[in-house]
Chains A and B, each alone.
Chain A
Amino acid sequence: MPLALLKYGLRNDYPATSHFSESADLKDHYDVVIIGAGGHGAAIAYYLARYHGISNIALLDKGYLGGGNTARNTAVIRSNYLTEEGVRFYRESVQLFRGLSNELGYNIMMEDRGQLTLAHSDAAIRSFRWRAEVNRRLGVRSELIDRQSIRELVPNLRVTDDSRFPILAGLWHADGATARHDAVVWGYARGACQRGVELHQLTEVQSVEVTDGAVKSVLTNRGRVGCGCVVQAVAGMSSVVARLAGIRLPIHTFPLQAMVTQPYKPVLTPLVSSPHLHVYVQQTSRGEFVLGGGSDPYALYNTRSTLEQKESLASAILELFPFLSQAKVLRQWAGITDMTPDYSPIMGLSSVKNYYLDAGWGTWGFKATPICGKTMASLVATGRVPELIRPFELERFYRFEQVNEAGATAASH
């Protein structure tokens, strides 16, 4: 093996093939144009090409593949939501994640770690009990656990009475997991490109042309492209792109800041979050602690880090894991989150014919990547809204049937 590797390294022509299609010229017409080549866009293209026989697809991105929120999320996979609609949807996603490396023939580095949410008040315990009951009824593994069980699961966690907000109980979600976020989009894009989908990076959609209430073409910085239908999958820019098609969305856009410490030996297995302290944390397989927090307090489309948010993130994590006071921060960044009023996504039909929405992904987009791709592909191919995503249509706001998941976020926003 080492010899083979050495020979490979010394060769002039590397036998490795490119994962993705070469960027050829744009064609005049595609059956499907997907705006946004992140995890969701690539997944939709993959399921369309593999399971619905539709491969005349252009996957467009104004930047590069997976360079938006797919690269910026904190790679949390879980299904311990509060509403039945939410739990059913994310449960399917977790199941698809489990088989995804095999499905794609590409290692997404899925790790079943379990996820622990901490309660610092009686009100939080009540809501955890509610979530645990809803979850269990739908076959999702969630249970309310006491302080002793928390100590056994996470020995480094500070579970004492003398902290400012003592930990009272926890919601243990054995199905919680993590995976390599980049690998998810690379795997989907590779599978899609192998089946004829065209990936066009650095291709920005500048306007959407609607005739008689139906979308006919999009105008990009590389020319006009006719299309049978359009799917927008642009987390962080949902309102801006939807406006091109004349669609109004109930979204407020905020950045969410995160950071990563220097690597440590493996000391933390589960993903831990505290909605009360606005922080969630996991140790990656590289040993780094990934810390995420609440969103910035006012609307922004800017990914700059601010001292106030980083300070609150750091002080919150020290309440939980005091040993991190010695840790150095290696990287910091922000992702742009499209927050909806009910903390659920907006998927499905829009007021424009053949224009499909995959929007409002706030802070819950990565974990939904596989199921969103699968159900949106089915919608595009058949024109029928799958039952699993019907509750998440934009129409729900006009029927006052919101799917309230505000109580099930990892950190309140």
Chain B
Amino acid sequence: MLLISCPFCGERAETEFSYGGEAGISRPPDPDALDDAAWADYLFMRKNPRGQHLELWNHAQGCRRWFEVERDTVTYTIKASRALQTDSGDKG
């Protein structure tokens, strides 16, 4: 069981959260200007690192807000969690 620190509510159990994948991916401001390769890159291609991963989490059963977590995908260790910066991705 992970203890995840929500920047708004504090430390809570993993089961209150849902995972949102890699963080820091912004929707291109002008999709029409992209070719297919660049659009596919934005949609599908991911770093998927073995080690430190910057990712999105949603406090689904709490404040329901999205935030960023730095987590190690081998050791489970969470290094930091923080509120989203204004320009770091549109996750609805």
Contact = CB atoms under 8 A, between A and B. Distances in A.
Interface of A: 237, 239-240, 248-253, 297-302, 306-308, 341, 397-400
A253 B48 CA distance: 7
B19 interface: yes
Given A307-B1, A308-B14, A341-B44, A398 B73 contact: no
Contacts of B44: 250, 341, 397
12 contacts: A239-B47, A240-B50, A250-B44, A251-B48, A252-B21, A253-B73, A297-B19, A299-B73, A301-B74, A308-B1, A397-B40, A397-B43
A252 B25 CA distance: 15
Measured as residues with beta carbon below 8 angstroms from the partner, the interface class of chain B is: 20 to 34
Contacts of A250: 44-46
B75 interface: yes
Given A298-B55, A341-B44, A398-B40, 14 more contacts: A239-B49, A240-B49, A248-B41, A248-B46, A250-B44, A251-B46, A251-B48, A253-B50, A299-B21, A299-B53, A301-B50, A302-B74, A307-B1, A400-B36
A146 to B, nearest CB: 36
A250 B40 CA distance: 9
B18 interface: yes
Contact of A249 (B19, B45, B74): B45
Contacts of B49: 239-240
Contact of A301 (B19, B36, B73): B73
B88 interface: no
A300 B62 CA distance: 24
Contacts of A298: 19, 55
Contacts of A239: 46-50
Nearest to A297: B19
Interface of B: 1, 14-15, 18-19, 21, 36-37, 40-41, 43-50, 53, 55, 73-76
B76 A398 contact: no
Contacts of A253: 48, 50, 73
B45 A248 contact: yes
Contact of B18 (A248, A297, A301): A297
Contacts of A307: 1
A205 to B, nearest CB: 14
B1 A300 contact: no
Residue of B19, B21, B37, B46 ringed by the most chain A CB atoms within 10 A:
B46
The winner among A249, A298, A301 for most chain B CB atoms within 10 A is A298
A299 B72 CA distance: 10
In this complex, the member of A251, A253, A299, A302 whose beta carbon has the largest number of chain B beta carbons within 10 angstroms is A299
Nearest to B51: A301
A399 B76 CA distance: 36
B19 A299 contact: yes
Contacts of A302: 73-76
A400 to B, nearest CB: 7
Nearest to A341: B44
A308 B15 CA distance: 9
A393 B19 CA distance: 28
Contacts of B45: 248-250, 397
Contacts of A297: 18-19
